[in-house]
Chain A
Amino acid sequence: MNRYEKGAAAAVGLMALAAGAIFLFAPTDALQGPVQRIFYLHVSSAIAAYGCFAVVLLGGIIYLRNGSLAADRLARAGALVGLVFTTVTLVMGMLWAKPIWGTFWAWDARLTSTLVLWIIYAGYLLVRRLAEPGRQAARFAAVVGIFGFIDVPIVHFSVTWWRTQHPGPIIVNDALPGEMLATFLFTMACTLALATAMIAIRYRIETLADGPVPAVAEKATAVTTGQREPVK
Chain B
Amino acid sequence: MTNSIAIALAVARKDLTAEWRTRELVPALAQFVVLALIIANFGFQIDARNAPSIAPGVLWMALVFAGLVAFGRAFAAEREQASLEAMLMTPASPVAIFAGKALAATLLLIGCEAVLLPALALFFGTPLSAAIVSAVLLATIGMAALGCLFSAMVARIRARELLLPLLTLPLWIPFIVAGGQAVQVAMGATGNYDQALALLVDFDILFVVLTSLAARFVLDE
Q: When the two chains form their complex, are residues B174 and A155 in contact, meaning their CB atoms are under 8 A apart?
A: yes
Q: Count chain A CB atoms within 10 A of each CB in B146, B166, B170 and give the residue with the most.
A: B170
Q: Is B6 an interface residue (CB 8 A)?
A: no
| CA gap between A143 and B151 in the complex, in Å | 13
* B144-175 Cβ-contact flags toward A at 8 Å (1 or 0): 00100100010011110011001101110110
Q: When the two chains form their complex, are residues A140 and B221 in contact, meaning their CB atoms are under 8 A apart?
A: yes
Q: Which residues of B contact A127 (CB under 8 A)?
A: 153, 157, 163, 167
Q: Which residues of B contact A143 (CB under 8 A)?
A: 149, 153, 214, 217-218
Q: When the two chains form their complex, are residues B217 and A64 in contact, meaning their CB atoms are under 8 A apart?
A: yes
Partner of A120, one of B171, B178, B217: B171
* A83-97 Cβ-contact flags toward B at 8 Å (1 or 0): 000000000000000
Q: Is B203 an interface residue (CB 8 A)?
A: yes
The stretch that binds B, out of A17-25, A158-166, A188-196, A202-210, is: A158-166
Instruction: Give the nearest-CB partner of A120 in chain B.
Output: B170
Q: Is B181 an interface residue (CB 8 A)?
A: yes
| CA gap between A66 and B146 in the complex, in Å | 24
Q: When the two chains form their complex, are residues A126 and B163 in contact, meaning their CB atoms are under 8 A apart?
A: yes
Per DSSP, chain A at the interface is helix
Q: When the two chains form their complex, are residues B167 and A123 in contact, meaning their CB atoms are under 8 A apart?
A: yes
Q: Is A142 an interface residue (CB 8 A)?
A: yes
Instruction: Give the nearest-CB partner of A121 in chain B.
Output: B170
Q: When the two chains form their complex, are residues A135 and B221 in contact, meaning their CB atoms are under 8 A apart?
A: yes
Q: When the two chains form their complex, are residues A119 and B166 in contact, meaning their CB atoms are under 8 A apart?
A: yes
CB distance from B156 to the nearest CB of A (A): 6
| CA gap between A144 and B169 in the complex, in Å | 12
Q: When the two chains form their complex, are residues B159 and A130 in contact, meaning their CB atoms are under 8 A apart?
A: yes
Q: Which residues of A contact B105 (CB under 8 A)?
A: none
Total interface residues in chain B, CB < 8 Å: 29
A-B contact count (CB 8 A): 79
| CA gap between A155 and B169 in the complex, in Å | 12
* A147-181 Cβ-contact flags toward B at 8 Å (1 or 0): 11011001100110110000000000000000000
Q: Which residues of A contact B177 (CB under 8 A)?
A: 155, 158-159, 162
| CA gap between A136 and B153 in the complex, in Å | 9
Q: Is A132 an interface residue (CB 8 A)?
A: yes
Q: Which residues of A contact B166 (CB under 8 A)?
A: 119, 122-123, 126
Q: When the two chains form their complex, are residues B157 and A130 in contact, meaning their CB atoms are under 8 A apart?
A: yes
Q: Is A131 an interface residue (CB 8 A)?
A: yes
Total interface residues in chain A, CB < 8 Å: 30
Q: Is A228 an interface residue (CB 8 A)?
A: no
Q: Which residues of A contact B173 (CB under 8 A)?
A: 112, 116, 151, 155
Q: Which residues of A contact B206 (CB under 8 A)?
A: 150, 154
Partner of A130, one of B163, B171, B203, B214: B163
Q: Is B95 an interface residue (CB 8 A)?
A: no
Q: When the two chains form their complex, are residues A158 and B199 in contact, meaning their CB atoms are under 8 A apart?
A: yes
Q: Count chain A CB atoms within 10 A of each CB in B173, B199, B203 and give the residue with the most.
A: B173
Q: Is B191 an interface residue (CB 8 A)?
A: yes
CB distance from A214 to the nearest CB of B (A): 24
Q: When the two chains form their complex, are residues B210 and A140 in contact, meaning their CB atoms are under 8 A apart?
A: no
| CA gap between A143 and B167 in the complex, in Å | 11
Q: Which residues of A contact B203 (CB under 8 A)?
A: 154
CB distance from B139 to the nearest CB of A (A): 12
Q: Which residues of B contact A140 (CB under 8 A)?
A: 153, 156-157, 218, 221
| CA gap between A144 and B217 in the complex, in Å | 11
| CA gap between A122 and B165 in the complex, in Å | 12
What are some 18 contacts across the A-B interface (CB < 8 A)? Answer: A116-B170, A116-B173, A119-B166, A123-B170, A127-B157, A130-B157, A136-B156, A136-B221, A140-B218, A142-B217, A143-B217, A147-B146, A147-B171, A147-B214, A150-B206, A154-B203, A155-B173, A162-B177
- List 18 other contacts, CB 8 Å, given A116-B170, A123-B163: A64-B217, A122-B166, A123-B167, A123-B170, A126-B162, A126-B166, A130-B157, A130-B159, A143-B149, A150-B206, A151-B171, A151-B174, A154-B206, A158-B174, A158-B178, A158-B199, A162-B177, A162-B181
